[in-house]
Amino acid sequence: MSKGKNLVHVTVAEAVEMFLNYNKELSASGVAFSNVTYLVDESKSKTVKGSKMLQKMVTTNATIGSDYAKKVNKICKDKQGEAIDFVAQPMRGKDYVQEGSPVCYDTKTNTKKYLVLIIENHTKPQSQLLLNGLEVKREDVWNDTYITPAGLKPSNYTSGRGAVDKENDFCFRTLDFNNLISYNMNGNMYLIS
């Protein structure tokens, strides 16, 4: 834990509520920066008996409250001198709880809540791959035994359906609050317990 940070234990429900009241509690500017830690399935991993073979623990800096379409348009305008009037496609199976909130929900069951965040390309996330709950080295598992053929191929895709160049690329994520382990905001480290 960083020096000067207060450790605050919160439940998943309390974290969701905090981000639902995001503009009031967290950010006067509408955008905030946070260091988040989460545990998710490795999306490029093969699936066996309905479960991904590999998971990953990720710690990274993220932007919370940033609008995807506005970000793409700003990057393209800054780079090319003119806005491209990019319009984002709607999220599949998810919708925002309320406008201006970085929280969305699953539209099928309305039971899962997700934190919407952006991870900048220049940010270097720290990630650790896990196999059966144990840490493994990437070079030991990044092969056709554990990774799908598509996952082994390099990707040239960038944000904004390719409108953003690699140098300014970013990742848009919807993170299930149940996968969130901790986050730093306003001088506090919040630990989900």
Task: Report if residue 118 sits inside a domain.
Answer: yes
pLDDT for res 79: 67
Residue numbers of the chain with a pLDDT score lower than 70: 1-4, 23-31, 79-83
Produce one character per residue of 129-158: b if its CB has 16 or more CB atoms within 10 Å, e if not: bbeeeeeeeeeebbeeebbeeebeeeeeeb
pLDDT for res 70: 86
Task: Report if residue 96 sits inside a domain.
Answer: yes
pLDDT for res 83: 66
pLDDT for res 2: 47
pLDDT for res 123: 85
43 DSSP assignment: T
**What pLDDT, in 10s, does the model give residues 36-66?**
999 999 999 999 999 999 999 999 999 888 8
Amino acid at residue number 83: A
Task: Report if residue 21 sits inside a domain.
Answer: no
**What pLDDT, in 10s, does the model give residues 165-188?**
888 889 999 999 999 999 988 788
Per the structure, the complete domain to which residue 53 belongs is given by 30-192
Provide the domain count of the chain.
Answer: 1
pLDDT for res 26: 57
Task: Report if residue 22 sits inside a domain.
Answer: no
Task: Report if residue 129 sits inside a domain.
Answer: yes
Using DSSP bridges, classify how beta strands 103-106 and 6-10 pair: parallel, antiparallel or unpaired.
unpaired
Task: Report if residue 188 sits inside a domain.
Answer: yes
Task: Report if residue 144 sits inside a domain.
Answer: yes
Task: Report if residue 73 sits inside a domain.
Answer: yes
